Amino acid sequence: MKEHVLIIEDEAAMVRLLELELAYEGYDITVARDGLAGVEQAVQGSYDLILLDLNLPGINGIEVCKRIRAVKQTPIIMITARDTVSERVRGLDTGADDYVPKPFAIEELLARMRSLQRRLQQSREPVDLLEAKDLTLSAAAHRVTRAGQDIELSQREFELLRCLLQNKNRLMNREALLNLVWGYSYEGETNVVDVYIRYLRMKVDEGYADKLIHTVRGSGYILRG
């Protein structure tokens, strides 16, 4: 089955280039030419990868990425002409998986797409032991340790920590965590994620100089390891 790529880009010449090159490489392609249309396509459709321009009409790429990440974990490569460290950090902290500055060689973009898909495929393979520095979680044994010391977690705390570890070094916003851990049908308090993150920090980070669970203000949480 062909991989399906969503291109969210308003520049006609760039859209045409990407359409021609990706079609030649065997990808199926859908194009959205502004931010709002991109969010709608990304949320309603099923894609293997999203190419997202930072500078879009309507809403910009940062906001598009936030809205997509609220409900989907589709891989995102951000493309932008503004190649500054602050822009790259903003894009990656918002939830993009990679970043390609314009102008770029199409061969580099294709290589980054293949590399990202390989990494994600490996991460989907069943893994019993998840690790971040001195923290380990065994799904089979339902056991968590840090620095060799056992940590007692409730079932929900365990599931939340496992989700963070499965997405280690990747920003997870509250909506995505709510959907992945509590389920789409959850109708309880919307601050439940913050509450359980606080519980996890008390058990996983308290007493350790090296903190693992970090807040990205206005965006969500990331477990760095």
Q: Which of 103-112, 118-127, 149-158, 174-183 has the lowest mean pLDDT?
A: 118-127
Q: What is the pLDDT of residue 147?
A: 93
Share above pLDDT 70 across residues of the chain, in percent, rounded to a whole number: 91
Q: What is the pLDDT of residue 95?
A: 81
Q: What is the pLDDT of residues 23-43, one digit of tens each?
A: 999 999 999 999 999 999 998
Residue 192's Cβ-count burial label (10 Å; 0-12, 13-18, 19+) is middle
Residue 188 clears pLDDT 90, i.e. is over it: no
Percent helix / strand / coil, the chain, rounded to 5: 40, 20, 35
The CATH class given to the 129-223 domain equals mainly alpha
Average pLDDT over residues 41-70: 91
How far is the CA of 172 from the CAs of 73, 83, 138, 153, 168, in angstroms? 9, 24, 21, 20, 9
The residues with which 144 forms a beta bridge, in sequence order, are 137, 151
Residue 54 clears pLDDT 60, i.e. is over it: yes
Question: What pLDDT band is residue 141 in, cutting at 50, 70 and 90?
Answer: confident
Cis peptide before 103 (omega within 30 of 0): yes
Q: What is the pLDDT of residue 103?
A: 86
Residue from 91, 98, 99 nearest 66 by CA: 91
Q: What is the pLDDT of residue 218?
A: 85
pLDDT, the chain, mean: 88
Share above pLDDT 90 across residues of the chain, in percent, rounded to a whole number: 56
Rounded Cα gap, residues 119 and 167, in angstroms: 12
Q: What is the pLDDT of residue 26?
A: 94
Residue 152 clears pLDDT 70, i.e. is over it: yes
Q: What is the pLDDT of residue 94?
A: 79
Residue 85 or 220, more confident: 220
Q: What is the pLDDT of residues 91-126, one digit of tens each?
A: 777 788 888 888 889 999 999 899 888 877 766 555
The CATH class given to the 4-124 domain equals alpha beta
Structure tokens at 5: 């790529």
Kindly list the domain boundaries of the chain, sorted by start residue. Answer: 4-124, 129-223
